[in-house]
Structure 1
């Protein structure tokens, strides 16, 4: 992440104010589950990297946004959950049972960052990671 960002920074600075970096995180960064501890740690690091980068690049007008989708019920996500169940012998549904899943139609109404904001966004229902 750091290497890629540093490689692109000269072009972003040249483009000037209004440039943006968007990273995709995960709700597991703030609500980790045992079978995905490594994933949760990496996403938490990405969140903090984004916050620090946003503070450093704000004076140049470069926006940094970290999007943090939560648990969403879609066929693709169901396949991913099933593959973890199969590979790890863990009932992932039991691990995530207390997390209310978002419905795909809520994604279109998720809060959108303003052109001048640098913050973490969450999609889905209230209280959801």
Structure 2
């Protein structure tokens, strides 16, 4: 993120349900949704905000679980942040429609992301120059 702090790579191993996903999603959501100067929620227009975060997951199951955690985190206090998942679990056409509406936190499997990058123009436009995470 653009928090100005130093970044470190981490390897975290813990049992299922221990909060690993929440641990990395919380700082991402905070940096996208909260103004660091005022600690107030940022005013965001969903359609022009673009995709600010891309999370790659190795499997469809992990992508789906990550989306559930992201939706719970965003829906309570930051409803203007919209998580979306591209994992091949549904038709590309409906994923494409969701991308057109605006997905600020994009969770994807590598294969499905490559598929959309090749065939979905609005995804490239949404990502271009806007990714922070």
- TM-score tier by shorter-chain length is 0.3 to 0.5
Higher alpha-carbon Rg? 1
State TM-score, norm by structure 2: 0.35
TM-score by length of 1: 0.36
Q: Hey, which of these two has a bigger chunk of helix by percent?
A: 1
